[in-house]
Every structure is written in C-alpha cells, then in structure tokens.
Chains A and B, each alone.
Chain A
Amino acid sequence: MNDAVLEIRKMTVRYSGSAADAVRGVDLTLRPGECAGVIGESGSGKSSLALASLGLLRKRAEVEGSVLFKGVELNGLSESAMERYRWSRIAIIFQNGLDVLNPVIAVGEQIAECIRRHSGEGKAAAAEKTRRLLEMVGLRASWSDAYPHQLSGGMRQKALVAMALSCDPEVLLVDEPTMALDAVSKREIVELLLRLRAERGFAMLVISHELPVVSAMTSRVMVMYSGSVLEEGPTEALLKDPLHPYTRGLISSSPSVNPYRDMWGIPGEVVVAGEKQCPFFNRCTQRVDGCAGELPALKTVRDGRRVACIRDGIVTLLGGSGIDKTYGSGERSVAACVDCSLEVRAGEVCALIGESGSGKTTLAEILSGIARPDSGQVLFEGRPVRGNSETSKTGGIQIVFQDPLSATNEHLTIEETVREPLDILREGTKTERLRVAREALKNVQLPSDEDFLKRRCFMLSGGQRQRVAVARALVMRPKLLIADEISAMLDPSTAANMLRLLKGLQNSQGFAMLFVTHDLALAQKIADRVYVMRRGRIVEHGPTEDVLGAPKEEYTKLLMSGPGAVRSA
C-alpha cells in the first residue's frame, strides 16, 4: 500500500463562510507513474481537492484529513516546510493561464525564478534550464522574453507546463489543462503531457470536465459530485458502461463520446444535500426512499469498479430472459421470438432495431405483458410481468403503440382519453385527475384549455393523436416507456418533433425507454444501447456506438451499409 506517491485520506474542505463542504471525505491514491483523472461538473469540488492537497487553501478554507506524499503528512505542515514539497515534488498546472502568470514579467523570467527559488540554482543555470524546458514543451526559446499577453492560449498553457516541470516533480496535478483551448491546441497539450510523462515518469492527476481529455490521458478515473466521489474505476470501462446515473448523465452531455447521439444535460440544479443523504438524490432518476436517509459509501461492485449508491449503481428495470413465442402451428408456424433476452436499465434509452417481421413488436408486447410468451420470463424490478400486472399501476410500464389512429378512440374527447387510465384506476378525485391530465398535455406541448379538452380525438392530426397517446401514458408516471415504432407513421417533421419531445421528457422525468424501431439513424440519435433483432433472434447488442459504429454481425453490417444509417467517414 505504501508504494503510493500521493495518498489523500478522508479529505474534507470547507471554505470559510460557506455552509457546505466543498470536498467531503474523499480518498485518492496515486501510484508512481500512474495517471488518474477526476471528472465532474463545475463546482463539484475537483479543483478544491487539488488545491487543498498542495496546501494552497489554508487561508481560505478548513482542510481536514491527511495528504501523504510518500508517507509524509503534508496537511498541517508549516508554510515553509510545505514549500520544500510544493513545486519540487508536487507541481500543479492551474486552469487559467492568463491569471496565473504575472502579466508584467516575461515568461522565461517567471520560469527561471521558479527554478531558482525551489532548487537554488544560479542565474545562468536557471536561464539555461528555462530554454531547455521551453524547447521541451515545443516553444522556441525566443519566446522566453515575451510577456504573457503576447502568447496565445495554447502557448501560455505550454509555458505553464514548462514551469510546472521546472523542478522535476514526481507528481503533477493538472487542473483543467485544456479548458477554453481550440481543438488543435487541445490535442497538442494532451500529447505533450502524455509524452513528457512517458519520458519523465511522473504521476499525474488530471482534473477536467472534458471527457475526451480524461479518456485520452488517464487509466483510472474518479467521478465527483458536490464534493463526494460517486464512482471510481478504470477509465475505459467507466466511460463505456457507467454505473452511476450521474456518470451516465455526464457522458450523455458530452457529444464527443458518441457523436451521433443527441446531447442532453443532466436536468435539475445542484442542491446542497444534507449530511445523511445521497448528494445526487434530487437529480437522480432511480431514487428510492432510502436514498434520502443515508450517505452512500463507495463500495466495490465488480472488478475494480466502485460506486457510491445504495442501489449499487444503475439498476436493471426490466429483464427478459429466454423469451420464445411462436404464432400459428404446423407448417405455417412463425417463430416471432426465439430465446430473446434483453434488459433495460433505469433512466436509459434502449433501441430495439429490426426490419418489419423481425418480431420486435411481439417482443415489445411480451415485455409489457400484453402478449404471453411460450416460454421465458420477464421481470420488472424483480417482479414477474403477468398480463397487466405492471401496466395497470403508476410507476410501472407503459406502452405507446405504432398507429396513432388506433391508439386513441376517435369518439372520446381528449380529456376522456388522457384521463382514462386514472379513471380506470380511480386515482384521486375528479379535479385532481383533470389537473394531472392537463399537466400531461402541457408536457407533450398540446393546448390544455377547456375548448381543446372537449374536442374529440378524430379532430386531431396523426401527430397530435400520437402526442395524446403519449400524454395518456405519462399520467401513469411510468418508470419504463415502451415506444413501438411511434414515428413510423408520421411525416419527418412531425416525427422529429415527436421524438425530441419524447427524449426531452425522458431526460427531464427520468423514465427509461425501450424504443422499438427500424430506423437506424434514429436509434443512433437517441439510444444509449441497442439490440439488433432478426427473424426473432437478438443477433447483437451493446452500447450504440459499438454496435452501430463497428458492427460484428453480418446482419448489422448489412443494415449499416443501407441508406438509412449515418456512417462515420
């Protein structure tokens, strides 16, 4: 255990005058030569963690816990004792170049000054070393006389790298190294840091909210949210298969991870959580009552993956296993589903892709309980789905059908249609039902005034009726919405509106969605994971970018070579 070069134990940072901790009991271990990352939204405490470990927050904040550099406790050292470690053993690259450099002193001089102060070398030797450092980071030595404002953002960042490495530190903390840089400079900085690390072998802690940067530089990553670590694990696995809903939210907010998919931020604002409460509670889509009463600790879920969630990370909402279904009998029998297994996790969008006749609608009907499988089992939150057992209650499964004209009874008024599930369940009073129905109509961007409510469904267009059907499903506050080809019968513009609306509702209300479609481009656009179905079998499944980006099965390749898909060049 003591091979760690830097070890942070139970660090808590509280800024003076602030009611809440900026960092709450964070543990972190950095081995020699290792490169770890910390990701999170702004204000999640990433930078405070770095600054506090260098003892830079002493005047402004109260820092508890211990920071061990090769076994030596740094937290609590006097300022002068700290100086011996700072810069020469642990260096930091700050996040904003223009603020960090002194605007009235030339860059080279600032670097040389740093060398002289920390290693006590002579003036000439320091100047010589500065030149070498600048060349090393790819800046011509002549820039050494330039003032900070004369350098571009990328160059300034390089100068900062040179300054940080001036005393050959063993640990380098990198705080947002590429923020506000253009793509080319970004790549240069990332490559530079990786090259220098390979050459010099220092350990690096990269703090960034840019996932591509973190995924390019680090082997291990930690996800922070309002001061707590929510998830930790190997970078590649964590980004591919996030365990915490927050991590998944971060990833889906980042277009570069999956360029075809639509971007959606994590809904809601950061609310300072109580002491005994999951910090992500108010934004979580799979919270249960227990989440409010307990601060979850990091625990190992599987190989090297640790997550702080009392439900062990993203839960599997719906699981179907070994589903078989055959229609007809004898020679004319059709195997609609053959040994189909699939799962949908809380808050995610799954796409079930297949050509018509591939059995995907049958599978959707079996999963929702409308159809009965010949064999196999469907579990929703651990309970078997039988008939309408999960569709006839709030917080269960809801299904929206393909044909909007058949999905709603044209003779009923819109109010009757949307209210129907509540009327059947006898939920609440009449006025409450009406209010819920109005809200649902507002959510699907339909008018909710008296006049509109009293209209009959046949007066609406197909797209509007589809939205009424969605509103009807939403009044049940489903945890899982199965959407069966809902855009297939709509014109492109209406379909686009419909889908953006649905995806927006999915994002804000946090339900999971199983999206049955034959439209590949659409699946690429909205799905986190896809299942490809053919002749009743699920031939391939996995994260959207893997399956559709680099298909393994012949059939998926065939699909992807068709005109409907968006291909990478």
Chain B
Amino acid sequence: MSSQEVSLRRRRFALRFGGSTAEKKRSAPFRAHRPLSALSLCGKAGLAVLLFILATGVFSLLFMGDAHRVPSGDSLESPSLRHILGTDDLGIDIAAQLCRGAMVSVLVGLGAAVLAGAGGSALGMLAGYAGGWPDRLISGLCDVLTAIPQLPLMIVLGAFLGPSVRNIVFVVALLSWVGPARIARAKTLSMRREKFIVAAACYGASFSHIAAKHLAPALAPLVAASVLRIIGHAVVAEAGLTFLGLGDPTSKSWGMILNRSMSFGGIYFTDFWKWWVLPPLVALTMLVVSTAFIARDLEKFVNRKL
C-alpha cells in the first residue's frame, strides 16, 4: 500500500469516525496530550513556583528531621553558609522553618480548597437540579455568606473553635464554598435541559447518578479554576489567623513564623527583619500569586471551551 493510500484511508476513517488525526489535534489543542502548551508564560512560572514550594515541603519532611523546631545554633545568627537565613531568637534555623511551613501552608490551602470545591459543587448541583426549596435555601445561604464580612467572622469562628490546623481548614472551607456552589448551580441550570440528562431522568436515574455521571465531569474544569483561587485565599487566611494568634502555636506555618518574628520587640531597628520577616512574606506572596496565575490560565481555557 502506498503512503498516499494510507493517508487517504486514514482521512476516510477520520471522516467516518471523527478519529484523532493530526488535523483534529491541532484544532483542539486542549484535548491534546501536552497541557503545558495551554499555559501562558506566567502560568508556567506559577506552576514552577508551586512545584518548588511543594518540593521544599516534601524535602523538609523527608530529610530535615527536627531542624525546624530544635535549636541548631546561637540565637539570632545572621545568614551564613550554615544557616542560610540565619536563626531565630531561640537559635532555630529559619530556612528549615520556612521549608516545613511550606508543607503546612500547602496542606491547609489544598485541604480547604478541596473541601470547599467538593462541598460547594455538590450543593450547587443539588440547588440547580432540584430547584424549588433546596435551591432557595442554598442560594439564600450563599447570599448571606457573601454579605457577611469574612475576616471578622473568620476570627470569631477561629477563636470559638480553638486553635488547630484542622479547624482553620474547616473555617476557611466553610467561608469559601460559595464560589464553587454558584458556578455549579449556574452550569447545572444550563445543563438541566440537555436531552441526555432528560433521557437519564426518563430512565429513572437518581440525582446521584446524574451528578456523578453527567454533571460533575462537565463541572470539573470550571470548579477547578475557582478551587485554585480558594487555595490562595486559604493560605492567606491561615497566615492571617495564625498571625493574629489564633493558629496552632506548635505548628510551623508561615503565619506562625511571621507571628513570632513580628512580635519580637524592635525587630525593625535591627537587620533581622530582612531574613526573619521578609522570607515568609515573600514565600506567601509567591504562592498566592502563582496559584492566581494558574487559575487565570485555567479560566481562559475553560471559557474558550465554552
């Protein structure tokens, strides 16, 4: 068979079955196997930073032992080869704390975001699909949560529930499920009249079948973008609560480093703030900015598909 014949056959096959030929791939780049190409430069940088932060966290967990909580030098050392970011007032290596803090921050962020994303989209789907009083109830809750100032509520809740990482995750999730819920409800409303959902309902499908089989896969990319934003939000919220003293004092999150450093009397009169206050702040900012970048790219991709 000549190569021409082969390509002709392939094209015919593609015409008949709409198969995955080269032409098809080019026209639909997001279904291709290289999702990296979908990211902008900022997105790629964001992804790199995110991966780096994650890697330091994992590294600290695996190889750094107790360096983040046991003194390894004199107190308040300046940066040196031994302690690249110096030590704090107790002589504990700040770089090691920062690495461990990455772990805590990322965990809190991811935990809260996943919780809020999953719960929010489940509630949103229910509201959109069921309509009637469940819809009114859930939408009303969304409105109330949007109207209430978040920070005071968070502080009150954090204080009320007591200081622990788990509680912070819970509080942040509780306050940020509104976004995914609204997105899920809107998308569900628009999909509810799709005939495949009408057909499934005809066959007697329950809400859980329709949600799992038809709604969730379509919602996933939309909710993913909003979940990424919640990660950023959750990391800042955790840092904020911890900074205010509502965090778990035994944890070594970035917020806790900030809390300790900034409560060190007269830190701005010395040079210590350069390696004690600045690094966790920069790390926080970078984490938040990088998730924002990725979320922006993801939104673009999702919108284009719509």
- Are the C-beta atoms of A459 and B18 separated by less than 8 Å? yes
**Contact flags (1/0) for B200-231 with A, using CB distance below 8 Å?**
11111100010001100110000000000000
- Are the C-beta atoms of B202 and A411 separated by less than 8 Å? no
**Contact flags (1/0) for A409-436 with B, using CB distance below 8 Å?**
1011000110011001100000000000
Closest chain A CB from B169 CB (angstroms): 31
Which of chain A's residues 358-408 have a Cβ closer than 8 Å to chain B?
Answer: 368-370, 388, 391-393, 398-399, 401, 403, 406-408
- Are the C-beta atoms of B195 and A411 separated by less than 8 Å? no
Closest chain A CB from B267 CB (angstroms): 55
If A407-B195, A459-B19 touch, whether A368 touches B200 (CB-CB below 8 Å) is no
- Are the C-beta atoms of B18 and A460 separated by less than 8 Å? yes
- Are the C-beta atoms of A425 and B203 separated by less than 8 Å? yes
CA distance A98 to B218 in the complex (A): 74
- Are the C-beta atoms of B214 and A391 separated by less than 8 Å? no
| Chain A residues touching B, range | 20 to 34
Q: B52 contacts which chain A residues (CB < 8 A)?
A: none
Extra inter-chain contacts (6) besides given A399-B199, A406-B196, A464-B17, CB under 8 Å: A388-B202, A401-B198, A411-B217, A420-B200, A420-B213, A460-B17
Closest chain A CB from B306 CB (angstroms): 13
If A401-B195, A406-B195, A411-B218 touch, whether A388 touches B20 (CB-CB below 8 Å) is no
Could you tell me which B residues sit within 8 Å of A by CB distance?
16-20, 194-196, 198-205, 209, 213-214, 217-218
- Are the C-beta atoms of B195 and A455 separated by less than 8 Å? no
Closest chain A CB from B194 CB (angstroms): 5
- Are the C-beta atoms of B196 and A459 separated by less than 8 Å? no
Q: B199 contacts which chain A residues (CB < 8 A)?
A: 399, 401, 407, 469, 472
Q: A416 contacts which chain B residues (CB < 8 A)?
A: 213
Q: A401 contacts which chain B residues (CB < 8 A)?
A: 195, 198-199
CA distance A425 to B209 in the complex (A): 11
Closest chain B CB from A392 CB (angstroms): 3
- Are the C-beta atoms of B196 and A399 separated by less than 8 Å? no
In this complex, the member of B17, B20, B214 whose beta carbon has the largest number of chain A beta carbons within 10 angstroms is B17
Closest to B194 in A: A406
CA distance A420 to B200 in the complex (A): 8
**Contact flags (1/0) for A438-468 with B, using CB distance below 8 Å?**
0000000000000010010011110010000
- Are the C-beta atoms of A409 and B196 separated by less than 8 Å? yes
A239 proximal to B (CB < 8 A) = no
Of the residues A407, A425, A452, contact of B204 by C-beta under 8 Å: A425
CA distance A393 to B199 in the complex (A): 13
CA distance A9 to B205 in the complex (A): 58
- Are the C-beta atoms of A424 and B200 separated by less than 8 Å? yes
Q: B209 contacts which chain A residues (CB < 8 A)?
A: 424
Of the residues A388, A406, A411, A452, contact of B203 by C-beta under 8 Å: A388
Closest chain A CB from B217 CB (angstroms): 5
Closest chain A CB from B63 CB (angstroms): 42
Closest chain B CB from A415 CB (angstroms): 13
Closest chain A CB from B203 CB (angstroms): 4
If A411-B217, A424-B209 touch, whether A455 touches B17 (CB-CB below 8 Å) is yes
Q: A407 contacts which chain B residues (CB < 8 A)?
A: 195-196, 199
CA distance A464 to B200 in the complex (A): 19
CA distance A399 to B203 in the complex (A): 10
- Are the C-beta atoms of B214 and A409 separated by less than 8 Å? yes
- Are the C-beta atoms of B203 and A391 separated by less than 8 Å? yes
- Are the C-beta atoms of A459 and B20 separated by less than 8 Å? yes
Of the residues B16, B198, B205, B217, contact of A424 by C-beta under 8 Å: B205
A90 proximal to B (CB < 8 A) = no
- Are the C-beta atoms of B195 and A388 separated by less than 8 Å? no
A476 proximal to B (CB < 8 A) = yes
Q: A424 contacts which chain B residues (CB < 8 A)?
A: 200, 203-205, 209
Q: B205 contacts which chain A residues (CB < 8 A)?
A: 420, 424
Closest chain A CB from B16 CB (angstroms): 8
Q: A399 contacts which chain B residues (CB < 8 A)?
A: 199, 202
Closest to B199 in A: A407
Closest to A422 in B: B203
Closest chain A CB from B22 CB (angstroms): 15
CA distance A206 to B202 in the complex (A): 51
CA distance A408 to B196 in the complex (A): 5
CA distance A407 to B195 in the complex (A): 5
In this complex, the member of B18, B201, B209 whose beta carbon has the largest number of chain A beta carbons within 10 angstroms is B18
Closest chain A CB from B207 CB (angstroms): 12
- Are the C-beta atoms of B203 and A392 separated by less than 8 Å? yes
- Are the C-beta atoms of B195 and A476 separated by less than 8 Å? no
CA distance A401 to B19 in the complex (A): 25
CA distance A417 to B194 in the complex (A): 14
CA distance A460 to B14 in the complex (A): 10
Closest to B197 in A: A409
Closest chain B CB from A114 CB (angstroms): 68
